[in-house]
């Protein structure tokens, strides 16, 4: 989900071409005058923190200026939840980012993908494809999540939570 939201932001706001940096793909974007750096780690997803730390250190960003966008199988399909801090909730990529940054004070935007059906392995479910009906919900969620990222960047985490939770 993080990559899908990043792709939507790039589609709407990219000001240059993707570059390989920080063990990932980076695109600079301008969203209504707000400069964004969109990073998609190219590490294993569960090791995303290495990429995030490199970018954060290079740009000397405080943690509150890093927004992690990820999937959440504990949320209904298409539901968004934004938080300023907290646990990883079992999301392994987010857990690695928090571990490497040394804090849970990382803003995050979770996009619900629903729970695995009975008998399904969570990993297989997360890596699987959505049904046609779910895909319609997910496409809307990706658009809303991209809008939520812009609200976070321009107005802060509180406004993002107020509008999208």
Strand arrangement of the beta sheet that strand 80-83 belongs to: 68-72, 108-112, 80-83
Report d(CA 97, CA 90) in Å as an integer: 12
Per-residue pLDDT of the chain (165 residues; tens, 9 = 90+): 999 999 999 999 999 999 999 999 999 999 999 999 999 999 988 899 999 999 999 999 999 999 999 999 999 999 999 999 999 988 999 999 999 999 999 999 999 998 887 888 887 777 788 888 888 999 999 999 999 999 999 999 999 999 999
Tokens at 38, concatenated: 């969109």
Domain of 115, CATH number, reads 3.40.50.1470
Q: Which residues span the domain enclosing 100?
A: 2-164
Q: Which residues contact 26 (CB under 8 A, 6 or more apart)?
A: 18, 19, 20, 37, 38, 39, 40, 55
Q: What is the pLDDT of residue 160?
A: 97
What is the domain count for the chain? 1
Instruction: List Cα–Cα distances, 12 to 107, 134, 157, in angstroms.
Output: 22, 23, 21
Cα 162 versus chain centre, distance: 18
């Amino acid at each position: 989900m993080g990559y899908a939201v990043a792709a939507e932001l790039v589609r709407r706001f990219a000001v240059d071409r993707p570059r390989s940096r920080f063990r990932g793909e980076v695109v600079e974007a301008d969203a209504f005058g707000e400069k964004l750096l969109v990073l998609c780690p190219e590490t294993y997803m569960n090791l995303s923190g290495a990429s995030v730390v490199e970018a954060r250190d290079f740009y000397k960003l405080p943690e509150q200026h890093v927004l992690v966008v990820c999937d959440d199988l504990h949320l209904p399909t298409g539901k968004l939840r934004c938080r300023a801090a907290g646990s990883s909730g079992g999301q392994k990529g987010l857990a690695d980012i928090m571990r490497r940054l040394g804090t849970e004070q990382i803003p995050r935007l979770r996009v619900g993908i629903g729970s695995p059906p009975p008998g399904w392995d969570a990993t297989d479910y997360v890596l699987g494809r959505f049904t046609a009906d779910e895909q319609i919900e997910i496409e809307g969620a990706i658009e809303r999540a991209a809008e939520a990222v812009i609200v976070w960047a321009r107005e802060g985490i509180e406004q993002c939570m107020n509008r999208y939770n």
